Structure 1
Amino acid sequence: MSTTAATEFAGAWTAGRSVRRTMLLMIFGLLAVALNTGIGYATAGTRAIPIVTGVLLCLAFATGVHLLHRATWLALLSLLPALFVLVGSVQLAPDLALEQRGLRQQVTIVDAEANGKRHTFTLHGTTGPLDEPLVYQGSSPGYRVGDTLTVLTDPDGRIALQDADRVDSAGKVTSLALGVVGWTVIALLAGWRGHVRRRTGRYAVAAF
């Protein structure tokens, strides 16, 4: 089949149009990261909101990859860097706030309760019991009664108490960077393969 005939398939794009659509997807990915990180800052202390918006934005990016690529596997692959984007954008704000204004103190775990995967640890500091417990969501918290650790508490009361060793804003920035790099590579690959698939008439779909 000649090149001229191949470009006559329904939905075929010119090279310029494919480049523009690829750039739009890359820009959307960057805006999604920036937007959800901003939402995380605006709602610091309420992680449910940036989690919901982050999931929606990650799914929107995956949908864009699917439309650009005209296949499913790259869209599914984009969910891997989406996890880095989600973790970084949701947790960066509270970690940074605790590092900047958090009060550091050494405490001892004096009691523990478990409700499913939610583990609640009662803490006792140098001046007496703490009003706020340490809460861990997961199957293996790694804490036991009698353990001594350093925690960070928010004097404004907006951010939940955290184990100081697990507060790492630099790590969250790295997570965001990895997510952005991953999305960028996937967008470029989707744009290139999608252009080829359209020119060869594979899985013709309506252009967006």
Structure 2
Amino acid sequence: MLVVLLGLAVVGLSTAVAYATVGWPKAVPIITGLALCVVFASVVGVLHRAAWLAFLAMVPALFVLVGSVQFAPEAVLEERGVRQQVTIVNVEVAGKRHAFTLRGEDGPLDEPMIYRGRNHGYQVGDTLVVLTDPDGVVPLRDADRVGSRGRLVALVSGAAGWTVIALLAGWRGHVRRREGRFETLIV
């Protein structure tokens, strides 16, 4: 049960760090979350002497890491973001980075909308609604692409996966002790 609580604590702490570092480089919550996920997997592996369970714990860790790192900025935008209808007036492309210059009702926006990837689906002349952070901490985003609910689902799925793995590890240890197989719990 303590391993389950540790997993839930890691999820909570990783999300709290992501919230506290909104506006900082993404490397901070990623490195912190990754370190916490490795700690959980190591505890599962060492406590239950099963490397395969530790390796298996890394699958939900990916959901926890991605969910917590991406949930915080999107939740901040949903909470305090200001909706503005804008028109794309220009685009600057550098590799996979697209910087869209936007014009709102009051004139051009100071901040470009940045998209990294190939299939962005935007063209000069398109009209869309964006969310801007009045504090300027979180970069503006297309309102249709902000959805913290999906990130929360990933976070909860990762926590549920860790719970299942911790309960499986505990049951496995219980069965092995009952059968008198104490010498090696590796397999």
* Fold shared, TM-score > 0.5 on shorter chain: yes
The answer as to 2:93 corresponding to 1:114 is yes
Kindly state the Cα deviation for residue 161 of structure 1 after the two structures are TM-superposed: 0.7
SS in 2 for 1:52: helix
Relative contact order higher in (CA < 8 Å, ≥ 6 apart): 1
The answer as to 2:178 corresponding to 1:200 is no
- Give the counterpart letter for 1:180 in structure 2: A
- Give the counterpart letter for 1:30 in structure 2: L
Q: Which shows bigger deviation, 134-143 or 145-154? A: 134-143
Once the two structures are superposed, residues 160-192 of structure 1 have per-residue CA deviations (whole angstroms, 9 ceiling, x without a partner) of 111111212222222221111111001111222
SS in 1 for 2:135: coil
1:190 to 161, 169, 174: 169
- Computed over aligned residues only, the root mean square deviation of the Cα atoms, in angstroms, reads 2.3
2:77 to 92, 95, 98: 98
Structure 2: gaps (5+ residues): none
CA distance in 1 between partners of 2:49 and 2:121 (Å): 45
Structure 1: gaps (5+ residues): 1-22
Q: Which shows bigger deviation, 59-68 or 177-186? A: 59-68
1:123 to 102, 105, 121: 102
Q: Which shows bigger deviation, 166-175 or 54-63? A: 166-175
The answer as to 2:118 corresponding to 1:168 is no
SS in 1 for 2:42: helix
Matches within 5 A, 1:148-159: 148-159=127-138
Aligned residue pairs total 183
What residue is the counterpart of 2:121 in the other structure?
A: 142
CA distance in 1 between partners of 2:48 and 2:145 (Å): 38
- Give the counterpart letter for 1:44 in structure 2: V
CA distance in 2 between partners of 1:85 and 1:26 (Å): 14
What TM-score do the two structures reach when normalised by structure 2?
Answer: 0.84
Q: How high is the sequence identity, in percent, across the aligned residues?
A: 61
